[in-house]
């Protein structure tokens, strides 16, 4: 049952050297990282040759440059990993499941963050001072929504969590991928130890368990994108420390632990509590199904 739910299992007839140097979690993660770096350099050089540089680009062209750097290296590296190393169908990212898991994730992410904003408003933290109907929303949607939603989920859930779970079990994979996800956001503007820990728990753990329960990258990508789009483009709240212009002109007041401070509402204890409720529900589903993959030594 557990093996059937995993996207990849080491072939039983694989020689010992392949088990360590090709099919192990560490080997596949290292291969993906090398591919990601190599393809990223090529894409960056190609964009420079086309004259698409941050100094001369319009906001939309700059967004397309950023989107290209976010998506092309990760998508290409992941396709090569799945098709050439694991040699399997990519069920976790099948177009057939996009209408259900992708749209469902998008709606869930939008609803979840709207609930958080509603709670902050009821607590007197979130205030709207007007609207900005002329906001240039397309670049933000492309970078913070599509780019981050797809690119980060491929790296964190599609490669890191999935490979770790297949090699070390579900709970170790959840912990490691969540720590990496929080650590990756520690370099963002306004980041603190608290904001990184909050991201690790509220998003890192939640999205890892969402992938475990659905076995779909579309679900994770949709939730991630819906969350970011509502946060910045609609409600005008910084997205992981990056200030954006939203359709609503807003500000937050109160202590940083409640409002999230300059990092945004993701660093609020309200977001942490709301996401923890969804995380608890996902963990309950996984436990009732008996789908938790044990540590290899105990399999």
Q: How many CA atoms lie within 13 A of 290 on its CB side?
A: 4
Rounded Cα gap, residues 153 and 159, in angstroms: 9
Mean pLDDT of the 233-248 span: 93
Residue 125, domain extent: 2-298
**pLDDT bucket at 295, cuts 50 / 70 / 90:** confident
- Are 139 and 60 contacting, i.e. CB atoms less than 8 angstroms apart? yes
Mean pLDDT of the 80-95 span: 95
| CA-wise closest residue to 140 among 214, 195, 60 | 60
Q: DSSP for 35-73?
A: HHHHHHHHHHHHHHHTT--TTT--HHHHHHHHHHHHHHH
Count of structural domains, the chain: 1
> According to the model, what pLDDT value does residue 298 have?
53
> According to the model, what pLDDT value does residue 1 have?
35
> According to the model, what pLDDT value does residue 52 have?
74
* Mean predicted lDDT score pLDDT of the chain: 93
């Amino acid at each position: 049952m557990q093996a059937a739910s995993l996207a990849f299992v080491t072939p039983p007839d694989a020689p010992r050297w392949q088990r360590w140097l090709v099919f192990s979690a560490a080997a596949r993660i290292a291969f993906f990282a090398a591919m990601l770096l190599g393809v990223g350099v090529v894409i960056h050089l190609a964009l420079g040759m086309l004259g698409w540089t941050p100094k001369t680009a319009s906001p939309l062209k700059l967004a397309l440059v950023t989107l290209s750097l976010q998506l092309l290296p990760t998508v290409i590296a992941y396709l090569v990993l799945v098709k050439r190393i694991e040699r399997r169908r990519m069920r976790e990212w099948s177009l057939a499941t996009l209408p259900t898991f992708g749209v469902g994730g998008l709606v869930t992410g939008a609803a979840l963050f709207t609930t958080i904003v509603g709670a902050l408003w009821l607590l007197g933290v979130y205030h709207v001072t007007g609207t900005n109907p002329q906001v240039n929303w397309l670049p933000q949607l492309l970078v913070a929504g599509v780019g981050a939603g797809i690119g980060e989920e491929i790296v964190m859930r599609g490669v890191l969590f999935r490979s770790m779970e297949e090699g070390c079990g579900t709970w170790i994979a959840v912990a490691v991928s969540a720590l990496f996800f929080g650590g990756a956001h520690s370099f963002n503007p306004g980041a603190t130890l608290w904001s990184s820990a909050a991201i690790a728990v509220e998003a890192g753990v939640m999205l890892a368990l969402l992938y475990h329960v659905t076995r779909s990258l579309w679900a994770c990508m949709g939730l991630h994108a819906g969350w970011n789009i509502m946060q910045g483009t609609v409600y005008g709240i910084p997205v992981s420390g990056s200030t954006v212009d939203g359709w609503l002109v807003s500000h937050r007041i109160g202590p940083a632990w409640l409002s999230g401070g300059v990092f945004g509402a993701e660093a609020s204890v309200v977001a942490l509590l709301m996401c923890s409720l969804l995380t608890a529900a996902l963990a309950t589903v996984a436990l009732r199904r008996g789908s938790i993959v044990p540590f290899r030594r105990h399999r």
